[in-house]
Amino acid sequence: MEVIYTSDEGTKRALQKEWALAQDLSARVRLVFVYAVPYALPLGRPAVSLPFLQGKLLKLASGFPGEASVHIILCREFLRAVQDTLPPDSLVVLGGRKRW
């Protein structure tokens, strides 16, 4: 089961919902942060440091009542990276107020 990071608050809510689903399905939860690095920067050197992002995501995941793995995907195109990252037939939860 996948939780795609949208915002801190939205992701917290998504992780809470995911926990209920994961328990019923005996599934593993994966928190995925897809970061689109601007073309002006090298792909391996995003504008926000990786240790900062890792700390932020680990803090979010630590508030999750179950076990969740954290993955940071650096890319150039957000939607393509999401499509390439998610396994076929993934169950995905997004938190937020805006439509995706």
Half-sphere exposure of 6 (CA within 13 A, CB side): 18
pLDDT at position 99 is: 59
Higher pLDDT, 41 or 67: 41
pLDDT at residue 88 in the model: 86
- Mean pLDDT (the chain) is 87
CA 18, CA 53: separation in Å to the nearest integer?
21
Q: pTM value? A: 0.84
Least confident of 7-16, 44-53, 63-72: 63-72
Do the beta carbons of residue 82 and residue 34 sit within 8 Å?
Answer: yes
**DSSP at 88:** T
* Of residues 90 and 23, more confidently modeled: 90
